[in-house]
Structure 1
Amino acid sequence: MHLHLLQHSPYHGPGRIADWLSSMGHSHTVFHLYDGETPPSLADGDALILLDGPMHVLDDAQHPWLKRERKLIARALDGNKPLLGIGLGARMMATELGATVGRGTFAEVGWHEVTLAPESPFDLPERFTAFMWHRDVFALPDEALPLGGSSGSPVQGFAWDAGRALGLLCHLEVTRAGVDALLAEGERPEGSEASPHAQPDEAILADDRRFDRLAPLLDRLLSQWMRSAPA
């Protein structure tokens, strides 16, 4: 399979996803929308991955390409190809599915525990720790099943259309190098300084083993998602 990855910021890259795709024999192309690259045609790829970004879903004035991307997402949801969104990508998917998207009560930054929802279709542990980097959140779209929630965000992800469309608020793809770059860039999610769910840099980077523990979780999730691809 050939996958298209849409990147919205130089600091929110594919992380481990690129290595996982290569290890599984899949090819991929990254489209740097923030740098003026045109979104791909759905016909040219077998699946679509929408990465995170610091902007709001409807921030068209500063980022006019968002409107084109939302149209692409709408066409993908109406089609039959697998679609995965992370962070901003998941919020854009939720918007196109009619769910409410907006500012959460608190920013979530750093490592936080996610509790799997009883009705979750995801093959993941009942509790696991994931990386968070957001203030904006989304409600569960109609006809979607939830991933689960954290203490700061009750909806951390969803599966729609039998898992073909998968949205994640949390991050399983990040690497130490990627988080180093994110922290060095310096622009944390809005409200981080006053949030009880936002950790300082030294706490985020205190244990590199947390990054390693994400790898099997990402593998399990991506494997499940890829099984939704048409034969």
Structure 2
Amino acid sequence: MHLHLLQHSPHHGPGRISDWLTSMGHSHTVFHLYADEAPPSLADGDALILLDGPMDILDDARYPWLKRERKLIAKALDGNKPLLGIGMGARMIAAELGATVGRGTFAEVGWHEVTLAPESPFDLPERFTAFMWHRDVFALPDDALPLGGSLGSPVQGFAWDAGRALGLLCHFEVTHASVSELLANDEQPEGSEASPHAQPAESILADGRRFDRLAPLLDRLLSQWIRSAAA
């Protein structure tokens, strides 16, 4: 398969996803929308991965490429193209599916436990720890099944159309290097300083084994999604 990755910020990259795709024999192209690269044509790839970003998904005045990306997502959903969204990318998919997207009660930053929903179709442990970097959240889209929730965000992800479209609020793809870059170059989500669910930088980076434990979770998630995409 050939996958298109849409990147919205220089500091919210694909992380471990690129290496996973290559190791599994898939090719991919990264489109840097923040640098005014045009979004891809759906016909040129087999699936889309929409990465995270710090901007509001409707801030067309500052980011005019958002309108083109929304049209691309709508075409992919209508045209049976597989999609995976992470963070901002998940919010964009959720919005196109008619779900409410908006500001959460608290920012979630750092490492937080997710409890799998009883009806979740995701092949993941019943409890796992993932990386968080958000204030904006989304409701569960109609006809979607939930991933599960954390203390700060009850909807941490969803699967729609038998897993063809996946949305993740949490992050499995990050590495120690990618989070170090994020902390050094990007402001933490709004409200982080007062949130009970936000951790300081030194705590986030203190245990490198946390990043290692994300690798098998990413493998399970992407393998599940690729199987759905190829079905």
Cα distance in 2 between the residues matched to 1:36 and 1:223: 31
How far the C-alpha of 1:126 sits from its partner, in A, is 0.2
Match of 1:116 in 2: 116
Cα distance in 2 between the residues matched to 1:181 and 1:58: 26
Cα distance in 1 between the residues matched to 2:205 and 2:71: 38
SS of 1:228's equivalent?
Answer: helix
How far the C-alpha of 1:228 sits from its partner, in A, is 1.0
Deviations 1:22-75 (A, max 9, x none): 000000000000001000000000000000000011011110100000000000
Match of 1:86 in 2: 86
Match of 1:14 in 2: 14
Cα distance in 2 between the residues matched to 1:84 and 1:133: 17
How far the C-alpha of 1:105 sits from its partner, in A, is 0.1
SS of 1:227's equivalent?
Answer: helix
Cα distance in 1 between the residues matched to 2:127 and 2:62: 38
The one-letter code sitting in structure 2 at the alignment partner of 1:122 is: F
Cα distance in 1 between the residues matched to 2:124 and 2:202: 28
Cα distance in 2 between the residues matched to 1:147 and 1:69: 25
| Superposition CA RMSD, Å | 0.6
Show structure 1 runs of 5+ residues with no match: none
Deviations 1:90-126 (A, max 9, x none): 0000000000000000000000000000000000000
- The 8 Å contact of residues 6 and 51 in structure 2, kept in 1 or not, is answered as yes
Deviations 1:180-217 (A, max 9, x none): 00000141100001000000011101100000000000
Match of 1:70 in 2: 70
Cα distance in 2 between the residues matched to 1:211 and 1:156: 19
| Over 6 Å off, 4+ runs | none
How far the C-alpha of 1:82 sits from its partner, in A, is 1.2
Cα distance in 1 between the residues matched to 2:31 and 2:229: 21
Cα distance in 2 between the residues matched to 1:149 and 1:229: 25
The one-letter code sitting in structure 2 at the alignment partner of 1:154 is: P
Show structure 2 runs of 5+ residues with no match: none
The 5 Å alignment of 1:1-231 reads 1-231=1-231
Identity of aligned residues (%): 87
What TM-score results when the alignment is normalised by the length of structure 1? 0.99
SS of 2:193's equivalent?
Answer: helix
SS of 2:210's equivalent?
Answer: helix
185-194 or 85-94, which moves further after superposition?
185-194
SS of 2:229's equivalent?
Answer: coil
Cα distance in 1 between the residues matched to 2:186 and 2:59: 20
- The 8 Å contact of residues 81 and 230 in structure 1, kept in 2 or not, is answered as no
What TM-score results when the alignment is normalised by the length of structure 2? 0.99
- The 8 Å contact of residues 11 and 186 in structure 2, kept in 1 or not, is answered as no
- The 8 Å contact of residues 80 and 230 in structure 1, kept in 2 or not, is answered as no
